[in-house]
Amino acid sequence: MKNTFKLSLIAAAIMASNPAFSGDPKIAFLGGFTGPLESLTPPIYQGAQLAIDQANAQGGVLNGNKINLLKGDSTCADATAASNVADRMINSEKVSAIVGPMCSGATIAAANNAAIPGGAVLISPSATSPALTNLKDNDLVFRTAPSDAYQGKMMAKLLMSKGINEVVISYVNNDYGKGFAESLAASFKSQGGNVASSEAHEDGKADYRAELGSLASMGASTLVVLAYADGSGQTILRQAMESGDFEQFVGGDGMVGDKLIDALGGDINLIATKPGSPNLKGKAPFVKAAKAAGMDPEAVFSAQAYDAAFLIALAIEAAGSDDRAAIAKTIRKVASAPGVTILPGEWKKAVKAIKDGKDINYQGASGNHEFDSAGDVPGIIVEMTVKNGKFVQLGQIK
């Protein structure tokens, strides 16, 4: 819940302690423009850019200043690259905050080596490893996608509802894969399912037939792949389909990309899960704006990236400054009830409310972002399947 002080009073105090503000604020977007998520990254970046474009088109921040969204390649598989690009953004470009990175390992590296030491808020739209929950982050690291501790539970529930009570799991050997696999296995077993085997694999190999042979020997007909659509996940699915050892395939959010279907064919028997936003107040205005901008509003994590960028912009406006400490003090307040409801695209409404001394409560494209003490959000997980050569959403898993 919010502090009872009005945002205008907070902004005035912060402005008094940060009188040096001048020029256009800079925010960084860090994404996997190369690596195992490269086909998923462009629409995620576009989601963040759409939020900034809307704010700039409706008058900008802090009496007419325009926000600049800088982008950097954090890859997904290379923690050193993520640290380096985050360091450049924080210490050379002097950005006020970061949207991203996308992958969990990259996010942890960027946070520990740049954002946290630099006192900058970092909001990832797609880093879902449970490891982020326990990060010692000085209340600077947030995410707009739910933890895989929750997605694993919902995937287990989905599998049991479909009569699938035995699986084998192949997961990419990193923070994302390990955390997701552990959550899924624990939840699946607690609901009466059997995980015949759960094995890690290394990303970037050309041949996973040995790993698949080991999994197939367990006799389960359902293979769960927790990896990336442009990386090991695609190769594993292709070779599993060639072997004929499995009847049903299951993937997590990292596998939801049409490039995967383009590569493997539309007849693959695949179901998947990902964070979604069905029937939320903020979804319709986002969908309308995304379509007008030529974007796919259903692209995985695009809505979450939009929300991350919009929240940072709101925090700058509410703080009256692009100072990093000022943003950190206001980010929770603009995301939480009570306050004037602000939906995606309602920038002018938000600015007026702030100037009138009112609290605001952003209700986003991907959900309400009532961050808990760890910077996590409550989640909505949806079921995905392949139809007519495309991923389609079937509805929320409850």
The tens place of each residue's pLDDT in the chain, 398 residues long, gives 444 444 444 444 444 334 344 579 999 999 999 999 999 999 999 999 999 999 999 999 999 999 999 999 999 989 999 999 999 999 999 999 999 999 999 999 999 999 999 999 999 999 999 999 999 999 999 999 999 999 999 999 999 999 999 999 999 999 999 999 999 999 999 999 999 999 999 999 999 999 999 999 999 999 999 999 999 999 999 999 999 999 999 999 999 998 899 999 998 999 999 998 878 899 999 999 999 999 999 999 999 999 999 999 999 999 999 999 999 999 999 999 999 999 999 999 999 999 999 999 999 999 989 999 999 998 899 999 999 899 999 999 99
Q: What is the topology classification, in CATH, of domain 7-147+280-362?
A: Rossmann fold (3.40.50)
Q: 42 vs 85, 273, 305, 307, CA distance in Å?
A: 18, 20, 11, 16
Which architecture, in CATH terms, is 148-276+380-396?
3-Layer(aba) Sandwich (3.40)
Using CA atoms, how far apart are residues 22 and 376, in angstroms rounded to an integer? 32
Counting beta carbons within 10 angstroms of the beta carbon of residue 112, is it exposed (0 to 12), middle (13 to 18) or buried (19 or more)? Answer: middle
What's the token pair of residue 330?
């206001």
Query: In whole angstroms, what is the distance from residue 121 CA to residue 323 CA?
Result: 10
User: What kind and span of H or E run contains 288?
Assistant: helix 283-292
Adjacent-strand bridge partners of 167: 195
Exposure pattern of 35-54 as b/e (b: 16+ CB <10 Å)? bbbbbbbebbbbbbbbbbbb
- Coil/strand/helix, residue 388: coil
CATH 3.40.50.2300 domain position(s) in the chain:
7-147+280-362, 148-276+380-396
